Chains A and B, each alone.
Chain A
Amino acid sequence: MFLDCSAPKTLEGLAWASCYLTSGKHIDFYWAFVVVLALLACTAPMALMFGYGGATAARSHSLPVRMFGKCYIAMVRGIPDIIFFLFFVIALDQAIEWTKHQIVCPDWTEPVRQGLEFKVCPAAKVPQAGTAPVVHQIYGFGLAVVTFSIVFGAFVANVLYGAMNAVPRAQLETAEAYGMTHRQVHRRILVPQMWTYALPGLSNLWLILIKATPLLFLLGVRDIVYFARELGGSKTQAYEYPHPDWRLWYFLGLMAFYLLMTWGSEKVLRRLSARLSKGQATAAGEALRKAGAVA
């Protein structure tokens, strides 16, 4: 169906609604859902990687590595998210530009920090001045993914650290008795078995991560909560589609989206948990075994 939306103020009823819901700003709003899902898809594996690195470092036999791992976990976990998000992104952005500045502008004489200002040479700007706005958006999104991953990675690290310690020591000793090296024990015995202990903690983090995505707007990425507030706010005649305060409806829509996300995640996580408990020497594993024996 082709709609003529060129004069929205003359439209009424269904035609108005379909024009309204397909306006450019609404299309941006729908895209923001994709951005949120993309953020989750990028952040989850990356946070898991950071967490795994952090946990392994915290259990390392070398003191400096262990200190580093424990410091990372303690620091990030201890700092309120909102401070981290406000401070860290600007710091990360400036660190990238400062590093590039040192490389591309070695002859630059002016100080980079002038009072409250941060000025690198024009060639060291990331992204370069004059690049398309979409590049700036992708860069902003990248910063957001890294920041989210570092924050959630610290929590993941602590969960995995606990899970690694929960794997029965007897299992590891048996493996060592078979002549496996430390590395082999880690890879073949410890890591495959730790997941059943880690999953409850990780599933918590996943749900918290879903709910934390509105923090994206703090990082300059226009997310669904920003659009819901912006689109729902009452609009005067300066806009093409004037309407009263409709924020309630937009937020109800968001609520449905978030509930759907968490509900779907719960289902997947429950299956995953059953799968991982199979054959484990835990209460859940024992329950599965008994259920199997009866059937």
Chain B
Amino acid sequence: MAAGPVRRAASLIGAAGHDPRMAKAAPGNAHATGQWSSRAPRQLTRRRFLCVAGATSLSMCLCDGASLAAEADLPFREVEDGVFVRYGLQEAMSADNGGAIANIGFVVGETGVAVIDTGTTRQQGTALRAAVARVTDRPVTHLIATHVHLDHCFGHAAFDDLEPMNIGHRRLAGALAERGPFYRDQIRALSPDFADTDFRPPEVAVDDEMAIDLGGRRLQLKAWPAAHTDTDLTVFDEASGLLWASDLLFVGRLPTIDGSLNGWIDAMTQLVGPQARRVMPGHGPLVDGGDPAIEAQRAYLTTLRDQVRAAIEEGLDISETVDLLSRDTHSNWLLYGEGHGRNVTTAYAELEWE
């Protein structure tokens, strides 16, 4: 890696803001604490201040394009030499956060840059593109979508004129055909600012595995059987040993199942190989390859499977199973209340066919 990009990156981080909501990430995770505390205070625009001061008045925020745009300005941080990430907020998607809830980023090679996910909106894609430009003048040659979800790949259109190689799981084109219009409408419903957000089906499909060369830097792409979704793609950066697992790993935030619970449990046994020194989740802070957060997710998924299987075996229907398994509302997972019941429902619909 050339030294230039790194120095400029440092100045980028210095200018970046801090969002107090980040502090909610991954309770009890030492890595999280260390990373977030190193960040400078976030700039608070007047409009954003008004929005917050207005006792989170939803109507006010909905009218306030500037506060939405501000979420597209969350900082990019260099987490490995030439690997940059914008951490998403550990929140449900809302008008106030402009959908900036997932980790997105890019990897800089000697001849080109690979973008890994682009966020929820054209604005987030544009912000990512600007972050690349501040770090290097090398072109964005590859655009990688880690899966179909709206918080990950709906900023792709910001790169249209650069014509990068647009890469996704072999099922991504079909999944976007099925879900894309619905997701796009959900995003546009957040704010009129997102009226020009649209999605871009991949042109290059990864059937199983594929390597891309950024010039002296090889990325290994792997397409997984249905797990978090049926379009999961991971990226392994050989140079740094960083595995970009995206939503195959949730740290702090409750994992959500939208593919196959059994598939995800299977995937977890192979997800973090011996080469993977560190793992970038789709939500939450970067962790080491042996971090307990990985086991915590596996334990959640396997416990859910065991409990739902037992309920089906007893003849309970979906409603009874959700009631039974949602009684304990205490959990260390963020957004547990929003997601656990739905996970039970999804798990039931899958496991009753075993």
The answer on A and B forming one complex is: no
